[in-house]
Structure 1
């Protein structure tokens, strides 16, 4: 009922009566917000058929097909498809960590890393292995990926010297040292009390 009434008036200079609509500064904001409820996605990519609620989202998506990266880091020249990814990248140069854990104060360069870190404090493990039910803190974490290889038997890392395969790249690196004789850790620096 509220949306019908709002649609029937000129909302160019509309001042929201309801606090939850305070973000709608113009009619386009409100229309885009309404689409989040209706699921309407009128902007379709001619290349792959994926559709979007906003024309700006379609434009950014089309850059994945064209390879266009209009946002450039002034520090190193690396280019990005979105301003948010450029901003996240720029923190590499400044070591800025604006996202802080309220539990321990540790700082992070981006919010997804903070969310994952907070699971240490909460104990939350929202992602489950479909094979055995073991739970993990991240959906794409290396631990979950390596764990799933235990079930599948996949060993994608192969030694070029002897052909032996491994499920983890780190295990391959350690194995390759048996062929090269490399010993990256100087054992003589350790004292008897270290062990």
Structure 2
């Protein structure tokens, strides 16, 4: 229809892509935030709403954390719990229950391979924060020891019985003195 009427589409000029706005450097944003906090404190006579004050502190902390994170060099350290090591490094599936379950694997390593480490960290385990032992998997001797422990654990027909026999489940209570 346009050809019959002799109408031609006007030439369009290529539109320039708008540049993506960029935030100023962290140092400048932090300086601006400090100035804004001072101004607000002057205007309110130093009586800031506690929630507003906390928001300013959080924002400043986040800016500092971002700045510091960029300055840090990445670490080659890898600290893993034994279950995480077994699943991510060895491809084992460690069940939540049964003969070869997660709790027994950790007890196995602590009982038969205590030389691999005794560092504990609080980690999320089955939805609950708990202290667990973590091992320096970036050290080849520790990784080899964990590999041996995990393979041994899964090869054993009854790891629970072996742990009971080794005294892994006995509590070490102080003797009670009776007079």
Higher RCO by CA contacts (8 Å cutoff, separation 6 or greater):
2
Same fold (TM over 0.5): no
Higher helix share: 2
Q: TM-score range by the shorter chain?
A: under 0.3
